[in-house]
Chain A
């Protein structure tokens, strides 16, 4: 009987820690992701010359002429 209560206690603490950690991690990850996304999109655009959202290819010759 006592072992059962110990096991339940351990599992409950693990559940609280895991649940809380996951939710905090999700929030932090979301705010980090929203901060990083514009930089990453711009980098991808400059490196490939292609819009990362609609895949529109920018013609370099036109840009040079302008």
Chain B
């Protein structure tokens, strides 16, 4: 019985983390890249549908990871005035407060640390690409080794806070990246 419950919980976590990973990746791609407008319109219903499915499966981790990625992604626009009329950092603070209220301090802090770890690793691997495209990147600003060590610290911290979910997220990231790039390549080739 205990094993069954554990397996179902584990499976739920794996599926929901993979789905929300795709959502975050799509959101990131839509913001960073300049795809044709009709592709955004076509992607939006799928994005909402996948997000709803992932929240039905496991709402705490899913919403926590999404909110955390929203806060971390805000880094580049921290002082810009956004669509809501608020500054980037003000929105980040509001989302963080909502996250702590609705999801609990422990879950939200775990989500934030694991997303920071993933973002830092991403910055280290994307350093050459971002340099070529002229994008701002923490690894370019503070150094490759420094950011890599910082990402290791956040990886360990997230594994200490929630070892199972932390491991799932850290393993899911490269798989999602590969699958997403493959899928994106096929969609753009069809265009």
Partners in one complex: yes
Give A residues with C-beta under 8 Å from B: 1, 4-5, 7-8, 11-12, 14-15, 18-19, 22
B126 shortest CB reach to chain A, Å:
20
Asked if B153 and A12 make an inter-chain contact with CB atoms under 8 angstroms apart, the answer reads yes
Q: 4 shortest A-B CB distances, which residue pairs? A: A4-B160, A15-B149, A19-B146, A11-B153
Asked if B157 and A8 make an inter-chain contact with CB atoms under 8 angstroms apart, the answer reads yes
B147 shortest CB reach to chain A, Å:
10
Known contacts A1-B160, A4-B159, A4-B160; A15 and B143 CB within 8 A of each other = no
Chain A residues lying within 8 Å of B146, measured Cβ to Cβ, are 15, 18-19, 22
Across the interface, A18 reaches (CB within 8 A) one of B149, B152, B153, B160, namely B149
Does B11 sit at the interface, judged by CB under 8 A?
no
Asked if B153 and A15 make an inter-chain contact with CB atoms under 8 angstroms apart, the answer reads yes
A51 shortest CB reach to chain B, Å:
32
Across the interface, B149 reaches (CB within 8 A) one of A1, A5, A11, namely A11
In the bound assembly, the distance between CA atoms of A52 and B143 in angstroms comes to 32
In the bound assembly, the distance between CA atoms of A22 and B149 in angstroms comes to 14
Asked if A7 and B156 make an inter-chain contact with CB atoms under 8 angstroms apart, the answer reads yes
In the bound assembly, the distance between CA atoms of A8 and B152 in angstroms comes to 8
In the bound assembly, the distance between CA atoms of A15 and B150 in angstroms comes to 7
In the bound assembly, the distance between CA atoms of A4 and B158 in angstroms comes to 10
Query: Which chain B residue lies CB-closest to A12?
Result: B153
Q: Which of B131-157 contact A (CB under 8 A)?
A: 142-143, 145-146, 149-150, 152-153, 156-157
A17 shortest CB reach to chain B, Å:
10
Asked if A18 and B156 make an inter-chain contact with CB atoms under 8 angstroms apart, the answer reads no
Chain B residues lying within 8 Å of A12, measured Cβ to Cβ, are 153
Chain A residues lying within 8 Å of B145, measured Cβ to Cβ, are 18, 22
A9 shortest CB reach to chain B, Å:
10
Asked if A8 and B156 make an inter-chain contact with CB atoms under 8 angstroms apart, the answer reads yes
